[in-house]
Amino acid sequence: MLNVQKLNTLKGYQVILFPDKGKAFDKWSKIAERACFDVQVNTVLEHTDLNEGDDIADLVISIKKEQCLAGPDALINKLKKKNKYLDLLIKKFDLTTIVV
């Protein structure tokens, strides 16, 4: 239900639109071009294998599903990349992963 009038009420804010994948992207891009201020239209959904009409919540759900299916070791490896001391902690206390 986005339109130029509604969008223009946000003037003064940094606005980034996350339209549903597909037809909504083109529609929202045209509305953003007609706004009276600079509006960004995010393209992340257009570059996924999600279905037409899927939205940003569907992307988050699919990412979380992949993470769950990858298992705890994949999550720990990801955390190790973010914190170089995690591996040291795991080795020091002889920690292991337990799937509950």
* CA 91 remoteness from chain centre: 33
Q: What is the DSSP code (8-state) at residue 21?
A: S
Q: Judge if 37 and 10 occupy the same domain.
A: yes
Per-residue pLDDT 10s for the chain (100 aa) are: 999 999 999 999 999 999 999 999 999 999 999 999 999 999 999 999 999 999 999 999 999 888 888 888 888 888 899 998 999 999 999 998 887 6
Hey, what's the torsion of the CAs at 73, 76, 78, 81, to 10 degrees? -130
Q: What is the DSSP code (8-state) at residue 43?
A: -
Q: Judge if 49 and 62 occupy the same domain.
A: no
- Per-residue pLDDT, 56: 96
The tokens for 37 are 């201020």
What range defines the domain where residue 75 resides?
A: 56-100
Q: Judge if 25 and 48 occupy the same domain.
A: yes
Q: Judge if 46 and 72 occupy the same domain.
A: no
Q: Judge if 7 and 48 occupy the same domain.
A: yes
The pTM assigned to this predicted structure is: 0.68
